[in-house]
Amino acid sequence: MHVLITGAAGMIGRKLTERLVVDRALNGQPIEKLTLIDIVAPVRLASFSDHVKTRAADLNEPGVAAKAVSERPDVIFHLAGVVSGEAELNLEKGYRVNLDGSRALLEAIRLTGDGYKPRVVFTSSMAVFGAPFPAAIDDDFHLTPLTSYGTQKAMVELMLADYTRRGLLEGVGIRLPSIVVRPGKPNKAASGFFSGIIREPLAGLEAVLPVKESVVHTHASPRSAVGFLIHAAGLPRDKLGPRINLNMPGVCCTVAEQIAALRRIAGDKVAARIKREPDELIIRIVDGWPQRFDPQRSTELGFRAESTFDEIIRVHIEEDLGGKIAA
């Protein structure tokens, strides 16, 4: 099997790559080749280096998408994109990367022809939904995004569904909740503080909380995000039906409950490293996001996430901190 990952240098892309290299298989078939693409060259893992091809490339550039699919990868994980805050601040860049790059990839698949029909797993977002919200968003709630990022993701969802309907590919869109705790340095995602208020204090650093503690959101760990992707790659087409874009499960809680979980696991001293500094842009963006979900379809299809925020923190400590917390 040949697997292609776009956006492979990003956090989820790196963790997905690591998981695939450990498993050496996908959907019960051995992985014979792994192609990794991003705007910067993804890291080549030494333990699987003979089977990995990495490229620094922009899907919007002429010929890049066509070359990416020219070797007919069986499964494509399309993770490439700019994050929510950046897409809101830079309209042109958001549409060029999140929409135009995705369209270039889907068109390259279509134009390959000769019966080529890969499974394409696309990372969408809960930002495709917009207020006013019901108490919990179910699988029938309509798409009314209130940010450019959410709009771009919704557009790609519709394209993915249309290309699937036409028999050009087998698409699955997974609407990710906020993925925490993200390791490494902060990025420009408006949701970045959800990770920051856990990651930085655990590392002995101060963190900034730009919203009220009453803010409610749904979260899943990077481990769960990778699990979502792998599970989506193996879903039988007949079980999906025509509605191929799915809300993923997660842990719904307030920021105050996040902080309480941090305090339970790491103590008062660590939790005290969080500083409250309101940010009007972040507040406006987050206010337009959904909060609670009833992801019945994805749960019935076998997608799984953590059941408590304590579990999410422990995943971060185990996988990214080597089991250690800064005093």
The pLDDT assigned to 151 comes to: 97
Other Cβ atoms closer than 10 A to 145? 20
The pLDDT assigned to 44 comes to: 83
* Distance from chain centroid for Cα 104: 20
Sorted by where each begins, the domain ranges of the chain are 2-179+220-247, 192-217+251-293+300-320
The CATH number corresponding to 2-179+220-247 among 3.40.630.30, 3.40.50.300, 3.40.50.720, 3.30.470.20 equals 3.40.50.720
> Hey, what are 34's tokens?
């792994």
CATH number belonging to domain 192-217+251-293+300-320 = 3.90.25.10
Phi/psi for 176 (5° steps) reads: -80, 140
25-26 and 29-30 strand pairing? antiparallel
The pLDDT assigned to 143 comes to: 94
Q: Per residue in 215-243, is it b (16+ CB within 10 Å) or e — as a string? A: bebbbbbbbbbbbbbbbbbebeeeebeee
Catalytic annotation, residues: 149
- What is the rounded distance in angstroms from the CA atom of residue 256 to the CA atom of residue 266? 15
For 205-216, write each residue's pLDDT tens digit.
Answer: 999 999 999 999
Does the pTM exceed 0.85?
Answer: yes
The pLDDT assigned to 218 comes to: 95
Helix, strand and coil in the chain, % to nearest 5: 45, 20, 40
The pLDDT assigned to 197 comes to: 97
Q: Is 120 helix (H, G, I), strand (E, B) or coil?
A: strand
- What is the rounded distance in angstroms from the CA atom of residue 203 to the CA atom of residue 327? 8
Alpha-carbon separation of residue 217 from 57, 220, 226, 251 (angstroms): 34, 10, 20, 8
- What is the rounded distance in angstroms from the CA atom of residue 144 to the CA atom of residue 128? 6
DSSP 93: H
Q: pLDDT by residue for the chain (327 residues), tens digit each?
A: 999 999 999 999 999 999 999 999 999 999 999 999 999 999 888 777 778 999 999 999 999 999 999 999 999 999 999 988 899 899 999 999 999 999 999 999 999 989 999 999 999 999 999 888 898 999 999 999 989 999 999 999 999 999 999 999 999 999 999 999 999 887 777 889 999 999 999 999 999 999 999 999 999 999 999 999 999 999 998 999 999 999 999 999 999 999 999 999 999 999 999 999 999 989 988 887 888 999 999 999 999 999 999 999 999 999 999 998 887
